[in-house]
Amino acid sequence: MTDRKTSDSDGFGSTGRGGITRRDFLKAGATVAAAQTLGLGSPSAWAAGDAVRIGVLNPSTGTYAELGRNQTRGAEMAAAEINARGGVLGRKLDLIVTDTASKTGLAVSKAHQLVKQHGAHFLQGTVSSAVSEAIEQASREMGVLFVDSGGHATPVTGKQCTWSTFRVCTTTYMLAAGIAETLMQKYGKRWYFLTPNYAFGLTEQAAFERILKAHGGTVLGAALAPLGTTDFSAYLIQAQAAKPDCLIILQAGDDLVHALTQVNQFGLQKKFGVAGGMMELEVLQALPAAARVGDWSFEWWWDQPNVPEVKSFVERYRKRNGGKYPTARSWFGYVATHAIAQAADEAKSLDSVKVSRALAGLTLPVDVGLQPAKLQFRASDHQLMSGIFAGGVKAGGHYPDLFQVEKYEPGASIAQSATEKGCHMTYPS
Amino acid sequence: MSATQSVNRATNPGNAGGESAANRRLAVPAIIWVALLTVPVWFPWLGGYNLLATRALTLGLAAMGLNLLLGTSGALSFGQAAFFGLGGYAAGETLMHLAPSTPLAILMGIVVGGLAAGLLGPIAVRLRGIYFSMITIAFGQAFYFIVVNWNGFTGGEDGLLGFNRQPIDLGNFALKLDSVQYYYLVLLCFAVVAGLIALLLRSPLGHAFIAVRENERRLNFLGVGARNLLWIAFTLSGMIGGLAGALYALLNNFISPAALHWTLSGDFVMMCVLGGMRSFWGPLLGAIVYVLAENFLSSYTDNWMTALGIMFILIVLFFPKGLLGMLRTQVKS
């Protein structure tokens, strides 16, 4: 991978950040744009041109819409807090939110739009791993800092790692490592996998297998289901025939909802353990009560009795969002925005390279980190050392009290090192 | 631009006017080319950016290729994205495994797209109407699943990463291919293809394509094999699709299986119909409208698909000749 020069050499001043005339023109020309401006237009003490702008690239349509919206809600809450206490570098923080529909081509185009047209200084967002990887590349070309809030594929902070990209959510390896040993103790060491056939699932399965084999366990087999599978019965029959101690389900989002609904219809949870890597509050909420089973990893959980800051965070979040509880996704968005703001303040600059250097190695304050361990963006690969909340689904629980955290595993103890992941961090000179 | 003129004559018989009409027919393509050539000057000023313009041009190129089947020969193909995506993957894999050369990557896109279409064509052209559409969807989906499942080579569902368009070395100076230069490279490819299509449509072969659309049975009675003609059109359309796909992959430095999915084929059909599939410039106009709508509407509302859908329905209902057909009627009256 060769580093290419940023493409701002196109020589047209109006594509840059100070495009006041063009912005004015837009406002005058497009009534839609005017309506949008009015919609945002709460009177503020800051001049509009002075704002620090973060472009937020989350899907609000398509398969990952709900996850994307929660990331945006978290980011908006962070921006409101930052502005309430004086903004970034004394300037107002503006979020420019746009829909990527989880389409890579559209997302890359939107990233350019945010930077070149709206003058975004930084980018954050994404749910789909494919989009994260594409934006990572596009943002490096533009020389703009990008914080991947929710795309898990290991290469983002592994082989593809680059000075301009940071990640809040964990890697697929950390998702597996956070719960694997618990599962071996609880159910036994003969596992069968139900894996979505793309990098997220495959790398997670590889991580589980590696840990299992290191402890002398056996892999009985794996059923690979394409992304977007709705009927898992054929795969579940194979799983049942293998008679494992534990069925590891690695699907996410709607796929996981469908898989667990059918696990329950087959009554598999009564025959062997049902468990997996990544569970989300959104998924548990979408499941019928009887299908809420198993042991899982959460990347963040709203009920942490030992961290008082979490309680206040949950209350503030609920007040803003009509009583909804924050999910891991809300927290991803929240952390990404706060981290960018904090790094910019420390760097005393909006220059992406300087802010990146400040963000590398930055430790989040507890009221942003909101986990028992102190969270740091590791300098070697720009991965946040976020922990894993392992535990089981609460039988007969009601929203939002659907999960019992049994063990908190700090990120630093389960993350692979940068060298193991194949990351060689370089900054532009 | 006399080529375009004769296309108009061919597609709109009885439209031959006086001298002023002829001037107008010369003026329109001239205005279009000047507008296209100066995009990096005026487009950012209107709130656009080069990548968006390049994206519209690339998709427009694929739609123009599709229109050789759809508008000219009258065969509704839902498989254009297969050749588009294959071209994209071919370009990416070329840069990663063969040689770091942008022209070679583009060439491989054309070859792979054309080869796939050329090989599958004989099967598809045996069918007509809805069956032709169905089998082209099937081809597309077959390639889609091959790419999704071949994780080791294509990167599977996550897409192909890790290639970059390479500077083109022109002896004493090198093209860096930044966003402006890349726009002009795409425009050059577009101009060559547009010119060739215009020449083709003026040639006997182009007239034969139209004859397939207008009265296939009569053509067969005259001893001209409609199947072979459609096969040629299918292959050309695949080559252009592959070229557009390669340019698209190099634009984003990324290609994912979504570029092969039949829904993208549907988008290409929509662009042709939206702009006007019986006009030379229709598919490009449709692609521009589609890309702009997708990009700007989705910044304001989550329901942008609805807006696009309504626009599509209105155009199909009231202006079956597409936006360009509508404009032409306005000018004439």
What's the pLDDT tens digit per position in A206-229?
989 999 999 999 999 999 988 778
Min distance B18 CA to chain A CA atoms (Å): 38
Specify the higher pLDDT residue, A224 or A23: A224
* CA nearest neighbour of A59 among A107, A96, A94: A107
Q: What is the mean pLDDT of residues A117-121?
A: 89
**CB-closest option in B157, B159, B178 to A227:** B157
pLDDT tens figures, B291-320: 988 888 877 777 778 888 888 888 888 887
Res B179: pLDDT: 83
**Cβ–Cβ pairs < 8 A, chains A and B:** 144
Residue B93 confidence class, pLDDT cut points 50, 70, 90: very high
> Which residues in B lie closer than 8 A to residue A112 (C-beta atoms)?
49, 51-52
pLDDT tens figures, A314-362: 999 999 999 999 999 999 999 999 999 999 999 999 999 999 999 999 9
Residue B225 confidence class, pLDDT cut points 50, 70, 90: confident
Q: Do A108 and B51 touch (CB under 8 A)?
A: yes
Res B19: pLDDT: 65
From A51-55, A136-140, A198-202, B81-85, the region with the lowest mean pLDDT: A198-202
Interface check for B152 against chain A (CB to CB < 8 A): the answer is no
pTM above 0.90? no
> Which residues in A lie closer than 8 A to residue B299 (C-beta atoms)?
98-99, 110, 113
Res A19: pLDDT: 42
Q: Is the pLDDT of residue B282 over 60?
A: yes
Q: Do A197 and B41 touch (CB under 8 A)?
A: no
Calculate what percentage of chain A has a pLDDT beyond 70.
Answer: 89
**CB-closest option in B52, B161, B258 to A160:** B161
Q: Is the pLDDT of residue B57 over 50?
A: yes
Q: Do B252 and A133 touch (CB under 8 A)?
A: no
Average pLDDT, whole number, for chain B? 86
Q: Is the pLDDT of residue B14 over 70?
A: no
Q: Is the pLDDT of residue A105 over 90?
A: no
Q: Is the pLDDT of residue A102 over 50?
A: yes
Min distance B70 CA to chain A CA atoms (Å): 25
Specify the higher pLDDT residue, B175 or B259: B259
Res A168: pLDDT: 96
Residue found by looking up tokens 């060769």 in the block: A2
Res B333: pLDDT: 65
pLDDT tens figures, A268-326: 999 999 999 899 999 999 999 999 999 999 999 999 999 999 999 999 999 999 999 99
Interface check for B298 against chain A (CB to CB < 8 A): the answer is yes
> Which residues in B lie closer than 8 A to residue A14 (C-beta atoms)?
44-45
Q: What is the mean pLDDT of residues B131-138?
A: 93
Res A384: pLDDT: 96
Q: Do B44 and A15 touch (CB under 8 A)?
A: yes
Interface test with B, best of A1, A3, A10, A73 (most B CBs within 10 A): A10
Tell me the three-class secondary structure of chain A, residue by residue.
CCCCCCCHHHCCHHHCCCCHHHHHHHHHHCHHHHHHHHHHCCCCCCCHHHCEEEEEEECCCCCCHHHHHHHHHHHHHHHHHHHHCCCECCECEEEEEEECCCCHHHHHHHHHHHHHHCCCCEEEECCCHHHHHHHHHHHHHHCCEEEECCCCCHHHHCCCCCCCEEECCCCHHHHHHCCHHHHHHHCCCEEEEEEECCHHHHHHHHHHHHHHHHCCCEEEEEEEECCCCCCCHHHHHHHHHHCCCEEEECCCHHHHHHHHHHHHHHCHHHCCEEEEEECCHHHHHHCCHHHCCCEEEECCCCCCCCCHHHHHHHHHHHHHCCCCCCCHHHHHHHHHHHHHHHHHHHHCCCCHHHHHHHHCCCECCHHHHCCCCCCEECCCCCEECCCEEEEEECCCCCCCCCEEEEEEECHHHHCCCHHHHCCCCCCCC
- A316 vs A271: CA distance, rounded Å: 42
Q: Do A60 and B302 touch (CB under 8 A)?
A: yes
**CB-closest option in B49, B155, B157 to A117:** B49
Q: Is the pLDDT of residue B200 over 80?
A: yes
Which residues contact residue B179 at a Cβ distance below 8 angstroms, ignoring those fewer than 6 apart?
A7, A10, B49, B50, B51, B54
Residue A54 confidence class, pLDDT cut points 50, 70, 90: very high
Interface check for B174 against chain A (CB to CB < 8 A): the answer is no
Residue B18 confidence class, pLDDT cut points 50, 70, 90: low
Calculate what percentage of chain B has a pLDDT beyond 70.
Answer: 93
Q: Is the pLDDT of residue B59 over 50?
A: yes
Res A49: pLDDT: 56
Handedness of CA A125, A128, A134, A137 (dihedral sign): positive
Q: Is the pLDDT of residue A381 over 90?
A: yes
> Chain B residue with minimal CA distance to A196?
B157
Q: Is the pLDDT of residue A34 over 70?
A: no
Q: Is the pLDDT of residue A31 over 70?
A: no
Res A1: pLDDT: 40
> Chain B residue with minimal CA distance to A128?
B158
Q: Do B178 and A10 touch (CB under 8 A)?
A: yes
Q: Is the pLDDT of residue A409 over 70?
A: yes
Min distance B11 CA to chain A CA atoms (Å): 34
Res A226: pLDDT: 81
Min distance A66 CA to chain B CA atoms (Å): 12
- Maximum pairwise Cα distance, chain B: 62
Calculate what percentage of chain A has a pLDDT beyond 90.
Answer: 70
> Which residues in B lie closer than 8 A to residue A199 (C-beta atoms)?
151, 155-158
Q: Is the pLDDT of residue A25 over 70?
A: no
Interface check for B48 against chain A (CB to CB < 8 A): the answer is yes
Min distance A110 CA to chain B CA atoms (Å): 7
Residue A145 pairs in a beta bridge with A122
pLDDT tens figures, A159-188: 889 999 999 999 988 999 999 999 999 999
> Which residues in A lie closer than 8 A to residue B148 (C-beta atoms)?
197-198, 226-227
Residue A197's identity, in one-letter code, is: N
Q: What domains are defined for chain A?
A: 52-171+307-386 (3.40.50.2300), 173-303+389-413 (3.40.50.2300)
**CB-closest option in B47, B49, B300 to A26:** B47
